[in-house]
Structure 1
Amino acid sequence: MKTLVYSAKDFEIPYLEKANCKKHEFTFLEASLSSESAVKAIGYEAVSISSSGKASTIVIEKLKDFGVKYITLRAVGHDNVNLKAANTFGIKVANVPAYSPCAIAEHAVGLLLTLNRKLIEANKRAKSFNFNLNNLIGFDLNNKTIGIVGTGKIGAIMTKIMHGFGCELLGYDIVENEELIKKYGMQYQSLEALCKKADIISLHVPLNSETHHLIDEDLIDKMKPGVVIINTARGAVLNTEDVIKGLRSGIIGALGIDVYEKERGLFFTNHSNDIITDEMIIKLNAMPNVLITGHQAFLTEEALTNIAETTIYNLDCWSKNRETENELTKTVTETV
């Protein structure tokens, strides 16, 4: 199948080529899918996009006109694709539903430990042979209360890891995971109750109309002073302006984010020689108790291998006129 791979990064191309084994005709394009770049898909039966691409109604209509029949996402999240529009225009969409929950959960723990034990500052000092320990005090994770918002595949791994640290575990989800209750003593709470009790809050929910700006000023005001917030889910789960206020007031003691609500057009690209005009990311970057990584939680060999193999699997199914269980438009059709 002739496929245009948008947002192709140097680090992922070898994994895609290895998984493909020359079965499909790939063209790699550095640009992400947008209304402007959609024209590049003329002559292709399928396109592959990452989370940085935007498949809006207008874009999907253009892709349909250009002859595209399939969109395969190299990600779990699909909030950047209008599935109803894809269904309307007859374009099938599939994702990679679970490439490596461990990669995301482990990165969340890495953010937490780095923030808590001031590792960035400690290393910066050591580089200049300054081994002064002032202002490097952290806290034991043992016996601390962690609130895990979203207890699906990634949240469940996070629960297991934090149980190993000896944390008290609070959970919030629309569906309670009985296994987490039995194995790790997870206590499910309302979101408000969780925010009132937790020393640490880790977010693992998808982005949708219910979770957009889930963490806002109202909830932040109910949190324990000094709470640590970790977000490896989706940027817009946090109301960033409200979070900045919380950091300035001291209610939020530290923030670790691998995602950002205005990351499209910013993340995945070197802007070191550019003038950044996004005031929120400038403010966050200036705060010593904020740690930002550029949507790299998925960046492990295992995850990249699984993403590539599932992407090829989706294309294989479509090329043989078979359904893939990863199809998202089928779900939309069934629920409409």
Structure 2
Amino acid sequence: MRNIKAIFYDVKEYDKEFFRKYGKDYNIEMKFLKEKLNEETVDLSKGYEVVCAFTNDTINKNVIDMMAENGVKLLAMRCAGFNNVSLKDINDRFKVVRVPAYSPYAIAEYTVGMILALNRKIHKAYVRTREGNFSINGFMGFDLYKKTVGIIGAGKIAQILIKILKGFGTRVIAYDPYPNEKVAKELGFEFVDLDTLYKESDIISLNCPLTKETKYIINRESMNKMKDGVMIVNTGRGMLIDSIDLIEALKDKKIGSAALDVYEEEEEYFFEDMSNKVIEDDILGRLLSFHNVLITSHQAYFTEEAVEAITRTTLDNIKDFAEGKDLINEVPQN
């Protein structure tokens, strides 16, 4: 392949390690930046044919116009989601590719881990015993056996999650706008409508993409239809849940607990070390204050296998572009 220059935004040390390791056989000149892609940093893309960005970069009209002016020909998203890219403003001035799948096992397994940790207070027990306190007061959970788990979005990740949950002896119900009854029969779960899922679930897991239809799918109205004390788990996208409504439902004890690996305004905080700074986001701060809320920093995907797959697919996407091949992971712009 011809030599091609690519600039990578929002890069952590582990990103550098993997791209340098697997990029040796590619004729790609890679520039790594810690800074996120936004209106203040987009000027740095001048002279690069490829911009590689991540899930929390800001790729709005102004950024897109400047990228096009700078001669960028390919935006390579090293993630599955692209809701942070204003596709309508690109107007075919450059191509957009993504990594549609990496390790659905990573996210499914992490979802179960969050359920277990939140239910049995494992994270709190760890902190308590390290301080020499071996009391188990306040740590009572419930058996997963025979509980009903509702899954919103029954794609690849959800199907692996369902297999794991069935091993606990749970009853699984799911909602998906395009139900695959064959898969439901094979895995032993049932498709239901949303109202039924809300009404019957002891645990609800969000495994759907963020679209116009799913934005704030969990809001005060939908939460009022749920069982008192339900657990909500979100390893999908932050804006699937209206955070203000969630706070009110937690205060009212309508929602019993919540496990959140994503947050609707996470861009400024997640993936960053904010330990010596004040959390200025009052909603995030309020969520962090609840004893029955478990928040992690968008790490459900974060396994060696997943990061390797992201790296290899991103490099292959750039290679295909450089060689003029069909872009199998291209994102349609209309």
Q: Does the pair score TM above 0.5?
A: yes
Q: Give 3-state SS (helix, strand or coil) of 1:11's partner.
A: helix
* TM-score, normalization by structure 2: 0.97
Q: Does 1:51 align with 2:55?
A: yes
Which whole-Å CA distance do the structure 2 matches of 1:177 and 1:305 have between them?
30
Q: Deviations over 1:147-194 (max 9, x none)?
A: 000011111111111111111011011111234311222111111210
Structure 2 letter corresponding to 1:57: K
The 5-angstrom pairing of residues 161-200 of structure 1 reads: 161-200=164-203
Q: Cα offset for 1:315?
A: 0.3
Distance 2:286 2:77 in 1: 32
Match of 1:94 in 2: 97
**Partner Cα distance (2:108, 2:101) in 1:** 12
Match of 1:24 in 2: 28
How many Å apart are 1:19 and its aligned residue?
1.8
* Aligned position for 2:235: 232
Q: What is the number of residues matched between the two proteins?
A: 330
Q: Determine what percentage of the aligned residue pairs are the same residue.
A: 39
Q: Is the 8 A contact 1:61 1:89 kept in 2?
A: no
Give the corresponding residue for 1:11: 14
Report the alpha carbon displacement of residue 328 of structure 1 after superposing the two structures with TM: 0.4
- Paired position in structure 1 for 2:70: 66
* SS of residue paired to 1:138: coil
* Residues in 2 aligned to 1:89 and 1:179: alpha-carbon distance in whole angstroms: 38
Q: Is the 8 A contact 2:181 2:191 kept in 1?
A: no
Q: TM-score, normalized by length of structure 1?
A: 0.96
Unaligned ranges ≥5, structure 2: none
Amino acid at match of 2:59: A
The residue correspondences of 1:142-291 to structure 2 (distance < 5 A) are 142-291=145-294
1:89 Cα offset (Å): 4.3
Structure 1: tracts of 5 or more residues without a match? none
Give per-residue Cα distances to partners, 1:173-219, cap 9 Å, x unaligned.
11112343112221111112101110000001111111111100000
Q: Deviations over 1:234-286 (max 9, x none)?
A: 00000000011111111111100000000011111111111221111110111
Counterparts of 2:111 and 2:151 in 1: how far apart (Å)?
Answer: 11
Asked if 1:79 corresponds to 2:98, the answer is no
Q: Deviations over 1:9-39 (max 9, x none)?
A: 1112111112211520000000111111110
Q: Is the 8 A contact 1:215 1:237 kept in 2?
A: yes
Secondary structure of 2:7's counterpart equals strand
In the alignment, which of 306, 309, 328 is matched to residue 303 of structure 1?
306
2: CA distance, partners of 1:95 / 1:25: 19
